[in-house]
Structure 1
Amino acid sequence: MQVGKNNFLAIIFLAFLPFFISCKKDNSNQTPLIDGGGSGNGNGGTNPGNGPTPNFNKNTELNSVFFVNAQVGWIAGKSGRLEKTEDGGRTWRSQNAVIGHNINGLFFTDAANGWFVGDDGFLGRTTNGGETWLTSIAVNKLDNYAVAFSDAGNGYYVGEEGALYYTYTAGRSWNKDFYSLFYNLKDVYGIFAATSKSTVVVGEKGLLMYTTNGGLSWTKAGNATEDLIGVHSADKVNFYILSDKNYVYKYQIGGTPERFELPAKFSPNAIHFTSAVAGFVAGDDGLVYRTTDGAKTWTKVNVNTSKDLNAIQFPTPSIGYAVGEDGIIVTIQ
């Protein structure tokens, strides 16, 4: 039987499609970090670094919070605001990232090693607790929303138009994962790296995907249609996924997401779990809700603010922090 030229090319493409889906970019296309300069000195530093000096005051909106323990943590937000506390939030000291762009996500593996991601492709890395930062700009210059590491060496960051980048080198260089070529370039809003092999990402229009082989291949899961804006797990087995439609999904890799409704109609922004069944959701108007039964029921937590809360994080099961509008920082116990 004779095969036409077009049919022959189609057969060749289909034969190689699994290879393209399962393989990552080689390391020849890595994005290195470059020196962002400066030493944190409490006044924001003087080195102009890799961008304009941030123009913020203490009322600048905060987008992210990350504590490594009850005392040591960082906050970040608009116009490059980035500060550190070493006394449980009683006092804060400016960090010299000096990028002048919104910072959207923070992650630290210990008190020395941390990363941030932000608008216009900006990335940052510190190895000395934020005294100095190395910064870079991703080639695509898309907004980045979240960063997560499973251990000191292995991590991802995610963002606009299907941006999903991985590192095996503690963030010294990054490679783009191929998954976005096959899933309509949906924005990716949240990520949780459970192990160097197992990671869950969520995003626009019900995007829920997981890998169990370190990102060599990804599997789509669930059938939600709304935006999924955050994901977290305390035990690395039960993943809790926050929807922008007042739902929380409980999910285990390879299973079917179970949906639970939050008790009030509001705009949820962030989720964090402290155990397999206990966790918190924070959102607009200072609303925080707590569950102790795996998202089945929720109780309102009074945090004495009506400001919008954009991020929440618990370094220990008994103490947490939420940040947001007008630079608000609240402690939750």
Structure 2
Amino acid sequence: MDKVTVQLDQAMQRTDFYQAFASNTETAVLVGNSGVVLSSADGATWKRTILNGQPSFLAVDTCPDQRFIALSFDNHIWVSSPSGDDWAPIKVDSQEQLMTIDCSPNGKWWVAGGFSTFLSSSDKGQSWQSNTLEEDAIITDVVFLSEQEAVATAEFGMFVVTEDGGNTWQVSGFMPAEFYPHAAYFTSIAEGWVAGLNGFIYYTKNSGNTWHKQSADSTVPIYQFQEIDGVLFALGDNATVLKLTGDQWKTVQPASAPIYLRAALYFKQKLLVAGGRGMFMTIDPNAAALSVDNTEL
């Protein structure tokens, strides 16, 4: 029982299923299922918080004022001070299932989800403006690249953009074979990557008008991208990590456990990755061969 007690005192538990990372200048935050929120100032030691109601988190982001906002599956936004350890919920009044959250450079909150719906708030969640493409498709990811420009990926391979701060959204193109994107990374409206369950990674350089399937030496599902100093990494199933070299994806962390990696963050010169069943790794991305400093599982 002493060993059980010691394990229960740890910040990370094998029952955790981590979903997303975010950070400000001082603090990193990792969110997961059952109300789990971990916060750290150094990326090595973590404080564990379980929020009331044990919400299941989908995504988290950082705002320009250094506060954190996180979206839970029950359509609540949870707001924290820059410390990342005090959270308060705000209900989003929408009949659609919300799937993603983003805080734009001007501080406006954005959420999106079912029926190609976008919701935005400029008063910290007190009121919302709604916009829809009138398409029966789920928005899976939305990211503002500037105050005016943003990209969104959606069910059935839809690629959506705005160039006027979200006042209007247009379908810019479609991915091959109605591809369902689980991960997306864009450097601009024109250039970006998407990936999904079948392990395919598609690249566009013309705002989604055409897509090129990039070669990869792995077929595991991909759940997240992370860019570090111009180098792009991809996280996948079975604790796999890929690295983009030229036009090809090379495995740098081979399949090592039957557990997904879904959350990634470059913080304090380390690549932090996390996923199911308490999986957490700290990686040195600058090593000649990928160096895993520690693993929690």
Same fold, judged at TM 0.5 (above) = yes
> Alpha-carbon deviations, 1:67-91, whole Å to 9, x = none?
335x731111111111101121x22
The residue number in structure 1 matching 2:201 is: 248
Instruction: Map 1:62-73 to 2 at 5 A.
Output: 62-68=18-24, 72-73=27-28
Greater shift after overlay, 318-327 or 197-206? 318-327
- What secondary structure does 1:222 align onto? strand
Computing the radius of gyration from Cα coordinates, the structure with the larger value is: 1
Report runs of 4+ in structure 1 exceeding 4 Å deviation: 234-237, 252-255
Q: 1:74 to 1:119 in 2, by over 3 A?
A: same
Q: CA deviation at 1:244?
A: 3.2
Letter in 1 for 2:168: S
**TM-score (normalizing by structure 1):** 0.72
Return the match for 1:77 from 10, 27, 32. Answer: 32
Unaligned runs of 5+ in 2: 1-8, 285-297
The residue number in structure 1 matching 2:293 is: none
Partners in 2 of 1:109 and 1:292 — Cα distance? 32
Q: CA deviation at 1:178?
A: 1.9
Asked which structure has the greater RCO (Cα within 8 Å, sep 6+), the reply is 1
The residue number in structure 2 matching 1:313 is: 265
> Alpha-carbon deviations, 1:9-36, whole Å to 9, x = none?
xxxxxxxxxxxxxxxxxxxxxxxxxxxx
Tell me whether 1:222 sits opposite 2:178 in the alignment. no
Q: CA deviation at 1:201?
A: 0.6
Partners in 1 of 2:105 and 2:179 — Cα distance? 31
Partners in 2 of 1:155 and 1:234 — Cα distance? 21
Letter in 2 for 1:313: L
Tell me whether 1:199 sits opposite 2:150 in the alignment. yes
How many residue pairs get aligned? The number is 270
> Alpha-carbon deviations, 1:238-290, whole Å to 9, x = none?
322223332323335646343233332111111222355x2111111011100
Partners in 2 of 1:72 and 1:125 — Cα distance? 14
Letter in 2 for 1:284: D
Q: CA deviation at 1:112?
A: 3.7
Identical aligned residues as a percent: 13
- What secondary structure does 2:277 align onto? helix
1:179–1:217: 8 Å Cα contact kept in structure 2? no
Instruction: Map 1:105-120 to 2 at 5 A.
Output: 105-109=59-63, 112-120=66-74
1:308–1:325: 8 Å Cα contact kept in structure 2? yes
2:55–2:73: 8 Å Cα contact kept in structure 1? yes
Instruction: Map 1:25-40 to 2 at 5 A.
Output: none
Partners in 2 of 1:303 and 1:97 — Cα distance? 34
Greater shift after overlay, 116-125 or 148-157? 148-157
Q: 1:112 to 1:142 in 2, by over 3 A?
A: same
Q: 1:175 to 1:239 in 2, by over 3 A?
A: farther
The residue number in structure 1 matching 2:295 is: none
**TM-score (normalizing by structure 2):** 0.80
2:240–2:255: 8 Å Cα contact kept in structure 1? no
2:13–2:277: 8 Å Cα contact kept in structure 1? no
Partners in 2 of 1:77 and 1:141 — Cα distance? 23
Give 1 or 2: higher helix fraction.
1
Tell me whether 1:183 sits opposite 2:135 in the alignment. yes
CA RMSD, 1 decimal: 2.7
> Alpha-carbon deviations, 1:134-171, whole Å to 9, x = none?
212222365433212232512312233434211223x3
1:238–1:251: 8 Å Cα contact kept in structure 2? yes
